[in-house]
Amino acid sequence: MQAGKGVFGLPPSAPPAAFIERLGSPTAELPLRQGRRGLLYGNSLLLEFEGETLREVRCWKLEQFTDDLFLGWLQQVEPRADMQGFVVDDRLRLGMPRAQVSALLVGLEGDGDERSDVRIKNGQQLWLGYGAAPDYHLGDDPEQQVLVSITVQFNAH
């Protein structure tokens, strides 16, 4: 995915049918709030549409859901190997240490707190969520935070 340019080789303005043609049939189609719908691929990638317009791409790290997320049911959904490598701008990927992510965010408008960062890149909002490395089998240091969730918003109102 290239911020401000394309998603899986398609422009963000492409209709849901174009994404289904490119990515294959989704694991599930989900009705969402405010009349939106989601195309769930595997158990860790969601494309969210409002009508025929892509509004968000969400992905998350899933080795196991921690108890505070209440999403254990997603562990029962079969993962899709072809969806495990979601990358933003050829550099930002799930599982990266927060220190590395922070270096990539230098110069972008936005702010963060102890669990997340929100930045604007090429007119698109990036929301980045972090978790403790051991919770995601990405290290033993409970003080090390790693990137476990990425949301990219398109044409936000």
Residue 70: per-residue pLDDT: 46
Residue 102: per-residue pLDDT: 93
CB-based burial of residue 125 (10 Å sphere; 0-12 exposed, 13-18 middle, 19+ buried)?
Answer: middle
Residue 16: per-residue pLDDT: 93
Q: What is the mean pLDDT of each run of 10 residues along the chain (157 residues)?
A: 70 90 88 85 84 85 54 54 66 88 92 90 87 79 86 71
User: What is the pTM assigned to this prediction?
Assistant: 0.70
Residue 106: per-residue pLDDT: 92
Strands laid side by side in the 53-60 sheet: 28-31, 37-41, 45-50, 53-60, 145-153, 124-132, 116-121, 109-112
Sign of CA dihedral 13, 43, 124, 36: positive
Residue 63: per-residue pLDDT: 60
Residue 157: per-residue pLDDT: 45
d(C-alpha 66, C-alpha 63), whole Å: 9
